[in-house]
Amino acid sequence: MTINEQLDKAMKDAMRAGDDITRRTVRMTLAAIKQVEIDRRVTLDEAGVLGIIQKEIKTRKESLEEAKKANRQDLIQANEAEIQVLKVFLPAEMDDSELTNLAQAAIQECGASTPADMGKVMKILIPRLQGRAANDRISRVVQDLLKK
């Protein structure tokens, strides 16, 4: 079952169960996917859909930080709940040692040796890790390896 199909099924299940948070979150995610497809005039593949879901999670994490600064418990709880709903559709998060090993392999593959070569490494790594690690986390690992 594709991620789009999983999202559709989750929305229908949430509507039947009266789960407002899941229904609203999945509906917004499906709308974001549809908007990108319309804007680019393509049908997104699994990697593209995973990227949208990651972007939605990132947006909610940023909103969560703003809500914490404003001390808004209602918004904090809503954003945390939405993040948990979206994480269900992502593959299992990669552990640090596996991420480091893949980053080292990519560095060797492209012959990177300085932090200036980071773009080359990221170009190789991001498609391989789509959905299994956040881009900022990948970036930190690559930076640390290239500084050594």
Q: For every one of its 148 residues, what pLDDT tens digit does the chain have, with 9 covering 90 and above?
A: 899 999 999 999 999 999 999 999 999 999 999 999 999 999 999 888 988 998 999 999 999 999 999 999 999 999 999 999 999 998 888 888 999 999 999 999 988 888 888 888 999 888 888 778 888 889 999 999 888 7
- CATH number (domain holding residue 13): 1.10.1510.10
E strand or H helix at 145? helix 135-147
Question: Residue 106 sits in which domain range?
Answer: 96-147
State the Cα–Cα distance between residues 26 and 107, nearest whole angstrom: 37
Which of 64, 58, 56, 104 has the alpha carbon at shortest distance from 80? 64
Same domain, 16 and 53: yes
Confidence at residue 13, expressed as pLDDT on a 0 to 100 scale: 96
- CATH number (domain holding residue 111): 1.10.10.410
Same domain, 17 and 79: yes
State the Cα–Cα distance between residues 96 and 12, nearest whole angstrom: 36
Count of the separate structural domains present in the chain: 2
Q: How far from the centroid of its chain's Cα atoms is residue 86's Cα?
A: 9
Contact 30, 11 (CB under 8 A): yes
Contact 123, 37 (CB under 8 A): no
**Among all chains, which residue has been given the structure tokens 């972007």?**
55
State the Cα–Cα distance between residues 123 and 114, nearest whole angstrom: 15
Confidence at residue 147, expressed as pLDDT on a 0 to 100 scale: 84
Of 41, 70, 87, the last residue of a domain is 87
State the Cα–Cα distance between residues 120 and 142, nearest whole angstrom: 11
Same domain, 76 and 128: no
Same domain, 23 and 80: yes
Confidence at residue 60, expressed as pLDDT on a 0 to 100 scale: 96
Same domain, 123 and 59: no
Does the pTM exceed 0.85?
no
